[in-house]
Structure 1
Amino acid sequence: MTSLREPAPHDSAEHGIVTIDTGFHRPVFDAAYLVIENGRAAFIDCGTQHSIPALLDALARHGLTPAEVDWLILTHVHLDHAGGAGALMQRLPNARLVVHPRGAAHMIDPSRLVAGATAVYGEQEMTRSYGEIVPVPAPRVVVAEDGHVVNLVGRALLCVDTPGHARHHLCVWDERSRGWFTGDTFGLSYREFDSAHGPFIVPTSSPVQFEPEPLKASIRALLARDPDWMYVTHYGRIGDAQRLGADLIEQIDAMVRLAREARSASDGLHARLTESLADHFVARARSHASPLSDEQARAALAVDVELNAQGLEVWLARAG
Structure 2
Amino acid sequence: MENITALGGDVYEIDTKMAGYSGITAGYLILSDRPCLVETGTSTSAPVVRDALASLGVGPDDLATVVVTHIHLDHAGGVGDIAKAFPSAQVVVHEKGARHLADPSRLMSSARMVWGDSLDTLFGEMTPTEAERIVALGDTGAIDLGNGRTLSSHYSPGHAKHHVGLIDSATGDLYVGDAAGVYLPQTGDLRPATPPPDFDLQTALGSIALFEALGPQRLLFSHYGPVEAVKETLERSAEELRIWVDLTRQAHAEGMDLDHAVAMVRDRTKERYAALTSEDPGVAEQFELLSGAPSNVAGILHWLDRVSP
TM-score (norm 1): 0.88
Structure 1 gaps, min length 5: 1-5, 194-198
Match status 1:276 vs 2:269: no
Match status 1:192 vs 2:178: no
Q: 2:167, 2:216 within 8 Å by CA — same for their partners in 1? A: no
SS in 2 for 1:165: coil
Q: 1:230, 1:237 within 8 Å by CA — same for their partners in 2? A: yes
Alpha-carbon shift at residue 294 of structure 1 (Å): 10
Q: 2:32, 2:146 within 8 Å by CA — same for their partners in 1? A: yes
- Cα 1:95–1:240 change in 2 (3 A) is same
| CA deviation profile, 1:118-173 (whole Å, cap 9, x unmatched) | 22223x43332222321111110001112210001132000100011011100101
In the alignment, what sits opposite 1:137?
130
Give the share of equivalent positions with the same residue, in percent.
29
Match of 1:302 among 260, 266, 288: 288
Alpha-carbon shift at residue 285 of structure 1 (Å): 2.3
Alignment of 1:116-195 (within 5 A): 116-122=110-116, 124-154=117-147, 155-193=149-187
Alpha-carbon shift at residue 272 of structure 1 (Å): 3.1
| CA deviation profile, 1:77-117 (whole Å, cap 9, x unmatched) | 00111111111101111001000010001011111001111
Give the count of matched residue pairs: 303
How far, CA to CA, are the matches of 2:10 and 2:277 in structure 1? Answer: 31
How far, CA to CA, are the matches of 1:297 and 1:41 in structure 2? Answer: 33
Amino acid at match of 2:239: E
In the alignment, what sits opposite 2:27?
32
Q: 1:164, 1:209 within 8 Å by CA — same for their partners in 2? A: yes
Q: 1:77, 1:168 within 8 Å by CA — same for their partners in 2? A: yes
In the alignment, what sits opposite 1:94?
88
SS in 2 for 1:114: helix
TM-score (norm 2): 0.91
Q: 1:59, 1:66 within 8 Å by CA — same for their partners in 2? A: no
| CA deviation profile, 1:200-249 (whole Å, cap 9, x unmatched) | 21111121100111111111111112222111111111111101111111
Match of 2:230 among 236, 241, 257: 241
How far, CA to CA, are the matches of 1:262 and 1:64 in structure 2? Answer: 51
Amino acid at match of 2:204: L
How far, CA to CA, are the matches of 2:225 and 2:283 in structure 1? Answer: 19
Q: Which moved more, 1:184-193 or 1:53-62?
A: 53-62
How far, CA to CA, are the matches of 2:231 and 2:28 in structure 1? Answer: 22
Match of 1:80 among 68, 74, 84: 74
Amino acid at match of 1:279: D
- Cα 1:297–1:280 change in 2 (3 A) is farther
Q: CA RMSD in A?
A: 2.2
Q: 1:76, 1:103 within 8 Å by CA — same for their partners in 2? A: yes
Alpha-carbon shift at residue 273 of structure 1 (Å): 2.4
